[in-house]
Amino acid sequence: MIIQLKKDISDKQKDALIAEVQQTGYKITEVKTQLGDYLIGIGKKDFDIRKIGQKEGIQDIHIVSDEYKLVSKKWKVAPTTIDLGDGICIKDGDMAIIAGPCSIESEDQIRKVIGHLKENNIKMMRGGVFKPRSSPYAFRGLGLDGLKLWYELAQEAGIKIVTEVMQVSQIEEMYPYVDIYQVGARNTQNFNLLDELGKVDKAVMIKRGISGTIEELLQSAEYVFSGGNEKLILCERGIRTYERASRNTLDLNAVPILKAKSHLPVIVDPSHGIGLREYVTQMALAGVMAGADGIIYETHEIPEKAYSDGQQTLDFGQSGLLSDCIRKTFDMRKSFDLL
């Protein structure tokens, strides 16, 4: 069960409430986030929540049968909105567009990408400064210095930054310069990292694991929420299957399922999802029609010269066309009442 506490609950009231719930055989864990205080009760015994639902200090109480509790829609029906400031949000009923290169390479590259994004009214830029690469000899990012440079230029342009954090030690040093921490597919079950991201007051986007299930993605989000951070975004980026015709298999089934199971916004990444430039547009638009709250994709002035993932990266012309098509497709989706 989830018990949402009132902000003015006294310690005496809370202690009495915990003791009463524990007497029913439920184990209680207290969770404090930037938005609320909760008691999470875990137990198998049937329990009539009306017995305690009217007690002082309780704002709301729900029975949630899912293994994941706080990210479940069975508790919070209203969709979560991620407010990044300056009127930039990721939310249900809207279409967020996040675009940028796989890797941040240079000041010149950053300026050109930002110029392209501004031309197309795209307010969020993706890019990696710490890159987890399959080969230890591949380009692995510009690191913190690259992030600081990127931040300076993005701030001037009113662009929000989405970038991957790979380890616990990077969280604090990155904090002043990021708007959304991205947890990549290789780190989706790095529970130490997820625990620490629960302690920060910034948005976290969790990508589905390379071979991860929908349930595992939701459990990863639960780690961050239970650690104290409610600002969460889920990202479907394709999973590894036996198919070899594409880099991954973009599981668009996951979009409506996640939207039904969780109150968190859902983003689709068609660049990693299929891994082939010529099909990224089709899969992005399919993601929009599947019900996604946003699309994140890769773009570079000259993809063939990109330091990483050029084969799945759109050039600026293709990117501009895609951003326009995303908005038109979203308008079509709304007209069909498919939100």
pLDDT tens, position by position, 233-274: 999 999 999 999 999 999 999 999 999 999 999 999 999 999
DSSP-assigned beta bridge partners for residue 31: 38
Mean pLDDT within 314-329: 98
107 or 131, which is more confident? 107
Q: What angle do CA 302, 305, 309 make, to 5 degrees?
A: 95
Q: What is the C-alpha to C-alpha distance for residues 205 and 56, in angstroms, rounded to an integer?
A: 36
Strand 96-100 relative to strand 124-126: parallel, antiparallel, unpaired? parallel
Using CA atoms, how far residue 335 sits from 31, 164, 328, 331, in Å, is: 40, 35, 11, 6
189 or 56, which is more confident? 189
Using CA atoms, how far residue 63 sits from 2, 60, 224, in Å, is: 6, 11, 21
Helix (H, G, I), strand (E, B) or coil at 192: helix
**CATH tag for 81-335 (out of 3.40.30.10, 3.20.20.70, 3.90.1150.10, 3.55.50.30):** 3.20.20.70
281 with 318: CB under 8 angstroms? yes
Lowest mean pLDDT among 24-33, 97-106, 188-197: 24-33
132 or 185, which is more confident? 185
221 with 267: CB under 8 angstroms? no
| Cα atoms found within 13 Å of the Cα of residue 271, Cβ hemisphere only | 27
Name the residue among 293, 171, 297 with its Cα closest to residue 224.
171
Q: Please give the DSSP secondary-structure letter assigned to residue 239.
A: B
pTM of the model: 0.95
pLDDT in tens, 116-131: 999 999 999 999 999 6
Long-range contacts of 195-199 (CB under 8 A, 24+ apart): 195/223, 195/227, 196/168, 196/171, 196/227, 197/165, 197/171, 197/224, 197/227, 197/229, 198/223, 198/224, 198/225, 198/226, 198/227, 198/228, 198/229, 199/227, 199/228, 199/229
